[in-house]
C-alpha cells in the first residue's frame, strides 16, 4: 500500500514513528529476544541469522494454529516495545507520534489512538509491489490478505486516507496536509 514509504516521509517531517514491522524483524533477527520461544514452537527454523522468515512464512500462512502460536509469542513483545516508545515520547513531551502497525483495525487498535491514517493504493499496484518482494508468491499473498480487513472497510474507518501510487511528491503533499493541517489538534501524546 505504501505504508513504509509514508512512514519514512513522516519521520522526515520530524514526527517520531514506532515501526512494528522493524520491531518484529529485530525480535526475530540475530540475537533477537523472540528466538528461543520461536525455536521451541518451530524447531529448526532459527539459525545464525535469526529466524528463517521464508520457511516460517511457508508454515504460518498455511496453518492458522501455527500463525496464532507465532502471534502469541510476538504480539506481547511488540506491545512492550510500543508501550516503551509511547512512555519515552510522553516523557519527552514529543507532541504527536505515529504508530506504524499492521492489522490496526483487525485488532481494534484504532480505539487506542487519537486518529487513524490509512495509506492505500490501487489493488493492481498493491499486488505488484507485494509480489516484487523476495520470496513472495501468489499463495503467500492470498494467505496474508485472508487475515486482513478489505481496504474499502479500512478507508471507511480511517480519520484520514492517503493514496500512494500517484508519485512521491503527491504522497508527501497529502501527508503534510493531513498531519500539519487536518490533524493539528489530534494525536497529542501524554
**pLDDT attached to residue 121:** 81
- 8 A C-beta contact, residue 38 and residue 77: no
| H and E: helices and strands count for the chain | 9, 6
What is the CATH T-level fold of the domain 3-182, as seen in this structure? Rossmann fold (3.40.50)
Task: Give CA angle at 90 (78, 75), nearest 5°.
Answer: 10
Residues 21-37 pLDDT 10s = 999 999 999 999 999 99
**48 vs 151: CA distance, rounded Å:** 37
| pLDDT band for position 188 (cuts 50, 70, 90) | very low
Question: Residue 188: CA atoms inside 13 Å, Cβ hemisphere, count?
Answer: 4
β pairing state of 97-100 and 16-19: parallel
**pLDDT attached to residue 183:** 56
Query: 24 CB contacts (<8 Å, ≥6 apart)?
Result: 74, 78
**Among the listed residues 165, 154, 159, 155, the one whose alpha carbon sits nearest the alpha carbon of residue 121:** 165
**pLDDT attached to residue 189:** 39
**pLDDT attached to residue 1:** 66
Mean pLDDT of the chain: 86
**pLDDT attached to residue 18:** 95
Residues 48-99 pLDDT 10s = 999 999 899 889 888 889 999 999 999 999 999 999 999 999 999 888 899 9
Residues 1-20 pLDDT 10s = 677 888 999 999 989 999 99
Of 96-105, 135-144, 153-162, 176-185, the poorest mean pLDDT is in 176-185
Query: 104 CB contacts (<8 Å, ≥6 apart)?
Result: 110, 113, 116
Q: Which residue has the higher pLDDT, 57 or 184?
A: 57
Residue 132 has pLDDT above 90, yes or no: no
Residues in a beta bridge with 100 = 19
Residue 13, classed as helix, strand or coil, is: coil
Residue 102 has pLDDT above 90, yes or no: no
Residue 150 has pLDDT above 50, yes or no: yes
**10 vs 78: CA distance, rounded Å:** 21
**pLDDT attached to residue 185:** 41
Amino acid at each position: 500500500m505504501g505504508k513504509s514509504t509514508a512512514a519514512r516521509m513522516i519521520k522526515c517531517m520530524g514526527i517520531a514513528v514506532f515501526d512494528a514491522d522493524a520491531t518484529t524483524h529485530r525480535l526475530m533477527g540475530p540475537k533477537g529476544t523472540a528466538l528461543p520461544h520461536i525455536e521451541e514452537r518451530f524447531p529448526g527454523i532459527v539459525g545464525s541469522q535469526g529466524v528463517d522468515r521464508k520457511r516460517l512464512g511457508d508454515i504460518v500462512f498455511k496453518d492458522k494454529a501455527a500463525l496464532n502460536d507465532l502471534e502469541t509469542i510476538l504480539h506481547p513483545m511488540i506491545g512492550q516495545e510500543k508501550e516503551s516508545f509511547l512512555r519515552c515520547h510522553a516523557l519527552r513531551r514529543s507532541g504527536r507520534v505515529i504508530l506504524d502497525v499492521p492489522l490496526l483495525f483487525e485488532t481494534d487498535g484504532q480505539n487506542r489512538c487519537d486518529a487513524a491514517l490509512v495509506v492505500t493504493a490501487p489493488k493492481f499496484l498493491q499486488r505488484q509491489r507485494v509480489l516484487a518482494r523476495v520470496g513472495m508468491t501468489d499463495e503467500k499473498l492470498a494467505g496474508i490478505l485472508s487475515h486482513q480487513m478489505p481496504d474499502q472497510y479500512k478507508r471507511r474507518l480511517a480519520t484520514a486516507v492517503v493514496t500512494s501510487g500517484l508519485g512521491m511528491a503527491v504522497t508527501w503533499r497529502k501527508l503534510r496536509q493531513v498531519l500539519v493541517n487536518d490533524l493539528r489538534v489530534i494525536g497529542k501524546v501524554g
